[in-house]
């Protein structure tokens, strides 16, 4: 069987390895636009910040490993420009290759709006190792004034790491608050932490464009409210699926440009699959497809796509929207739906919130966790939760994600048999204590 995969990172290589393991006759070709295979995109801010010392730490397997150890024709600098779905042929710059089965795992790219003068030098996005190299090189030598555009998870991670590296940081955000996928009651604490760490927050700022010097270097960001002097700009306002090359193929896309797939990672075209940041994701709570590009989803979808391609049916059972990230000494985590998302769906819901110690209150290492839960007012089914704290956040978020996956109620949360010992927990876990406070 002649398998062709477009994209050599999380989804693509997860699929490729399933083909290697399950089809002894597999002839696998992977077409990667860049130079790097299987690298940790989520680790790039920490490389810039110095927590990760070497580029090599970010690469799980290079192209030569796939070629030599696994017999995969892993190509680099092979950009696909179109697909002939009638002839079952992938077409690129200076190459064509036929397929029996095709996986599109082309990922996503950072989105840069059509702002004035966005071509100036010193304006960056962060998605690839070469992107990070350029930023690291530009930051060398002296303390810089850095503007981060975007207050979502990537923007906050970048802001933290360049701040920790000794630079002066400003965040420009078009909304009234940071981290819009958290409820306002939670984001106030994120604002406080940013200001405490010396980050300037400019909220409600719509970007108009940039000004530069005679050499073409960015010197200012112009917004609807001010002109901000800067030495360097990092844009983190979201991503878009890499699906432009699918024009005229007949492959169905959603409103984001993501490829619509079923639970087997199949597109609407025979023998064409898609997975990862270029594809849709089934959401278990809403029972609808959505677009939430994360590495965890890409790895799972890629694995399932590979199994289905080689005749071992496996269903993708969906996501619940779990995210976690660090912001200085805080851990920020969420899973399920926020209040805003629930309201958009028209569900009748209630919220309950509590601030509780992450272990037994009398134990000397206890630290507070702020927990906010959303649940269906009529059925009691848990709809989502958010967590902020310095310790124990990841554990509670993962317990709640498991509860959401199984569509448990708030009463079910109370009845979970969770581990207890004073250095690790209270008799009643903070998550359970919060659930018990509902009216």
**Which residues participate in catalysis according to the annotation?**
42
**Taking Cα atoms as reference points, which of 239, 247, 241 lies closest to residue 81?**
247
**Taking Cα atoms as reference points, which of 299, 320, 254, 358 lies closest to residue 16?**
299
DSSP letter, residue 321: -
Question: How far is residue 437 from each of residues 149, 253, 348, 372, 398, measured CA to CA in Å?
Answer: 38, 43, 18, 11, 20
Which H or E run includes 373? strand 368-376
Q: What dihedral do alpha carbons 221, 43, 337, 433 form, nearest 10°?
A: -120
Find all residues with CB under 8 Å of 232, minimum gap 6, and list them: 122, 124, 135, 138, 139, 144, 145, 146, 147, 218
Query: Crossing angle of helices 10-22/63-70, nearest 10°?
Result: 10
**Distance, CA of 305 to chain centre:** 20
**Taking Cα atoms as reference points, which of 330, 321, 311 lies closest to residue 289?**
321
Dihedral sign from CA coordinates of 398, 404, 406, 409: positive
Structure token digits, residue 395: 């554990």
């Amino acid at each position: 069987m002649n398998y062709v995969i477009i994209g050599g990172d999380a989804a693509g290589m997860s699929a490729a390895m399933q083909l290697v393991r399950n089809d002894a006759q597999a002839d696998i070709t992977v077409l990667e636009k860049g130079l790097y295979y299987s690298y940790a995109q989520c680790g790039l801010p920490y490389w810039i910040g110095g927590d990760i010392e070497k580029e090599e730490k970010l690469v799980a397997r290079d192209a030569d490993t796939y070629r030599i150890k696994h017999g995969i024709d892993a190509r680099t600098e092979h950009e696909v420009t179109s697909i002939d779905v009638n002839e079952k042929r992938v077409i690129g710059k200076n190459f064509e290759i036929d397929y029996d089965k095709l996986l599109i795992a082309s990922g996503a790219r950072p989105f840069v709006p059509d702002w004035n003068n966005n071509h100036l030098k010193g304006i960056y996005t962060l998605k690839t190792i070469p992107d990070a190299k350029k930023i690291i090189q530009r930051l060398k030598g002296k303390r810089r004034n850095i503007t981060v555009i975007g207050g979502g998870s990537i923007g906050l991670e970048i802001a933290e790491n360049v701040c920790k590296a000794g630079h002066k940081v400003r965040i420009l955000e078009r909304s009234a608050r940071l981290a819009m996928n958290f409820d306002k009651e939670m984001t106030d604490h994120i604002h406080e932490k940013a200001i405490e760490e010396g980050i300037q927050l400019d909220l409600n700022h719509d970007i108009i464009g940039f000004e530069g010097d005679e050499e073409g270097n960015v010197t200012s960001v112009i917004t609807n409210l001010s002109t901000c002097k800067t030495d360097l700009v990092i844009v983190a306002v979201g991503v878009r699926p890499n699906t432009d090359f699918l024009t005229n193929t007949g492959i169905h896309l959603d409103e984001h440009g993501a490829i619509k797939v079923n639970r087997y990672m199949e597109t609407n075209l025979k023998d064409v699959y898609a997975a990862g940041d270029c594809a849709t994701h089934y959401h278990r709570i809403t029972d609808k497809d959505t677009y939430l590009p994360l590495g965890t989803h890409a790895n799972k979808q890629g694995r399932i796509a590979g199994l289905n391609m080689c005749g071992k049916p496996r269903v993708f059972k969906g996501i619940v929207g779990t995210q976690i990230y660090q912001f200085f000494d805080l851990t920020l985590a969420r899973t399920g739906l926020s209040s805003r998302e629930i309201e958009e769906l028209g569900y009748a819901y209630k919220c309950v919130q509590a601030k509780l110690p992450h272990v037994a209150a009398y134990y000397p290492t206890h630290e507070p966790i702020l927990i906010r839960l959303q649940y269906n007012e009529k059925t009691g089914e848990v709809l989502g939760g958010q967590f902020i704290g310095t310790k124990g956040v990841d554990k509670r978020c993962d317990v709640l994600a498991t509860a959401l996956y199984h569509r448990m109620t708030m009463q079910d949360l109370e009845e979970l048999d969770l581990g207890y010992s004073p250095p690790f927990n209270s008799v009643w876990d903070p998550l359970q204590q919060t659930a018990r406070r509902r009216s």
